[in-house]
Structure 1
Amino acid sequence: MVSLTKGAYRTLVTAVFLFLPAPIVIVIASSFSPTGYLSFPPQGFSLHWYREFLGSSEWISALLTSVLLASATAVITVVVAFLAAQVSARKAFPGRGLFEAAVLLPLAFPHAALAVVMLSLLAAFSLRGTFPGLLLAHVILAIPYAYRPIITALRRFDWSCEEAALILGADNWTVMRRIVIPMLRPAITTALLFSFIISFDEVTITMFLIGPDIATAPVRIHGHIQESNTPVIAAVSTLFIGVTLLSVLALERLVGLELFVSNETSRH
């Protein structure tokens, strides 16, 4: 009876792990379909929908907007998260718990709720439908994902290295540039890549904030699904899957994923 239970458990685990990548496999396979509608399994092999995507100025414009928005979001978010982590990690102060809770607060709200708040805020400053407005919303959304790896690394940081450099005559900027930042490079790289991915794939909040002159690739995908059923959506989604997987693989190759998911076991 015990062996049967173990066998059933293994079968269930295997089925789950086979089921998880199934939607991705279906999307990738459908992107090569020669027919004018989504079908699985595909009735042949064709790169027509990739050519249609690459030959469309609207798709390319939306993709470039997403790349530019995600890149700017990653840089700004990491700078803000780095400064916030410096404040929180260097010394205890009254309200530090509330400060960290405020930084991580976007994780506690559904994206739709954040979108409504952002819509009201940006409308008040006439930023709805503008690139700066989208950038602000994406930065707020991505800050927790950048803050976590940086604060984790700072709580493991050997502050005696900084003290030794100051004693030897280095100024604060030199210490930051030549001691602190190089030692935090893995955490900063992690924060950059995760912030880029979060912004690049974001659709719910962006849908509330776009205007007639600006649209991102995920929003265009959503609109195209409502209008038609062509496999160009599968082709674009396949490219997105590739970008995300390459980013995660690069992250694992450069610094490892444990920095982002590890528990904060050491606190100063």
Structure 2
Amino acid sequence: MSKNGPLALAFNALVITFMLAPLVVVCIVAFTPENTLTIPTTHFSLRWFKAVFAHPDFMQSFWNSLWLALASATIATLLAVPAGMAITRYAFPGRDFLNGLFLSPLIIPHLVLGVALLRLFALVGGTGSFGWLVMAHALIVTPYTLRLVVAALVGFDRSAEQAALSLGASQATVFRRITLPMILPGVTGGWLLSFINSFDEVTMSIFVTSPSTVTLPVRMYMYATESIDPLMAAVSALMVAVTAIAMVVLDRVYGLDRVLVGRR
């Protein structure tokens, strides 16, 4: 049977429906005018979205998550670009170890990372610090940026760089005017992917946040333990919208197929 036969298409449709159905239901419930988690049957209302923007704790947590994601994604990119260039361009002792070290957060459960970082922050006196929280998030999102940077550098034609060097350009000039513009889609895509993962991170953040640095996912988790009402659905719908917009930008800049395959 052809891979694109009716059964294969039906199976793919069922899988997509199974994955998207909870998100669709949550987004619909967010527009309910009722006080309980119900699908609106008479009319749609923006009542709970207004309540989100009027809730000071949620708004503060949103800004915490936004600045945290911006900072951690930027730090991850600054680390991933030179690391990716070293890994792909030079053969040196420990190169495989370095690559594995940068990618290791992908295989370590975030629960384990959260407990370990909580102990580390307690030892160095960094508990509750926003700066240390940024470093923690940069640790877990750097692998995503590194993978896309490495993918952009694999098979990179260095003839333009060599020509510029032969004409007297410095290494810094070559990187700024030739190398970086040519790998910019991969760098930008890696930054966006890191931003998305940092903004949505909850498991590790539960352990390392403080009352003044609570992120939006952690605030949602805390709120859900106390009350379940459509406010949670409205916040979830807004997070889905932010993530979807970032994914669209990522697809336009780099291409989701390259992200999933991991090569150009």
Shared fold by TM > 0.5?
A: yes
Distance 2:58 2:104 in 1: 33
Match of residue 84 from structure 2: 85
Gap runs ≥5 in structure 1: none
Q: CA deviation at 1:202?
A: 0.3
- Verify: 1:30 aligned to 2:29, yes or no: yes
Match of residue 217 from structure 1: 216
Go from structure 1 to structure 2 and tell me whether the alpha carbon gap of 1:47 and 1:96 turns closer, same or farther (over 3 Å shift).
same
Q: Read off the aligned partner of 1:48 and give its amino acid letter.
A: R
1:15-54 alignment runs, 5 A limit: 15-40=14-39, 44-54=43-53
Match of residue 112 from structure 1: 111
Match of residue 99 from structure 1: 98
Distance 1:202 1:44 in 2: 34
Query: Comparing 196-205 with 122-131, which one deviates more in the overlay?
Result: 122-131
Contact 1:115/1:204 (8 A) holds in 2: yes
Contact 2:29/2:233 (8 A) holds in 1: yes
Q: CA deviation at 1:140?
A: 0.4
Distance 2:182 2:132 in 1: 33
Query: Comparing 63-72 with 95-104, which one deviates more in the overlay?
Result: 95-104
Q: CA deviation at 1:42?
A: 5.1
Residues 10-67 of structure 1: CA distance to partner in whole angstroms, max 9, x if unpaired?
A: 5443322222210011100110111112123555421111001111221111101100
SS of 1:76's equivalent in the other structure is helix
Q: Read off the aligned partner of 1:198 and give its amino acid letter.
A: N
Q: Read off the aligned partner of 2:73 and give its amino acid letter.
A: A
Go from structure 1 to structure 2 and tell me whether the alpha carbon gap of 1:157 and 1:10 turns closer, same or farther (over 3 Å shift).
closer
1:109-148 alignment runs, 5 A limit: 109-148=108-147
Distance 1:125 1:43 in 2: 56
1:231-242 alignment runs, 5 A limit: 231-242=230-241
Distance 1:13 1:90 in 2: 40
Contact 2:141/2:198 (8 A) holds in 1: yes
Residues 153-194 of structure 1: CA distance to partner in whole angstroms, max 9, x if unpaired?
A: 112211221111110111111111101110111001111100
Go from structure 1 to structure 2 and tell me whether the alpha carbon gap of 1:7 and 1:154 turns closer, same or farther (over 3 Å shift).
closer
Match of residue 181 from structure 2: 182
Q: Read off the aligned partner of 1:66 and give its amino acid letter.
A: S
Go from structure 1 to structure 2 and tell me whether the alpha carbon gap of 1:12 and 1:172 turns closer, same or farther (over 3 Å shift).
closer
Q: Read off the aligned partner of 2:82 and give its amino acid letter.
A: L
Q: Read off the aligned partner of 2:79 and give its amino acid letter.
A: V
Residues 75-104 of structure 1: CA distance to partner in whole angstroms, max 9, x if unpaired?
A: 110000111112111211122111111110
Q: CA deviation at 1:9?
A: 5.4
Distance 1:53 1:206 in 2: 21
Q: Read off the aligned partner of 1:211 and give its amino acid letter.
A: S
Distance 1:42 1:234 in 2: 16
Q: CA deviation at 1:206?
A: 0.5
Match of residue 261 from structure 1: 260
Match of residue 227 from structure 1: 226
Normalised to the residue count of structure 2, the TM-score between the two structures is 0.94
Match of residue 155 from structure 1: 154
SS of 1:184's equivalent in the other structure is helix
Query: Comparing 138-147 with 120-129, which one deviates more in the overlay?
Result: 120-129
How many residues are aligned here?
262
Contact 2:88/2:154 (8 A) holds in 1: yes
Q: Where does structure 1 differ by over 6 angstroms across 4 or more consecutive aligned residues?
A: none
SS of 2:204's equivalent in the other structure is helix
Normalised to the residue count of structure 1, the TM-score between the two structures is 0.92
Query: Comparing 254-263 with 194-203, which one deviates more in the overlay?
Result: 254-263
Contact 1:138/1:199 (8 A) holds in 2: yes
Distance 1:263 1:253 in 2: 16
Contact 2:147/2:262 (8 A) holds in 1: no
Contact 2:151/2:263 (8 A) holds in 1: yes
Q: CA RMSD in A?
A: 1.8
Q: CA deviation at 1:254?
A: 2.0
Distance 1:203 1:178 in 2: 38
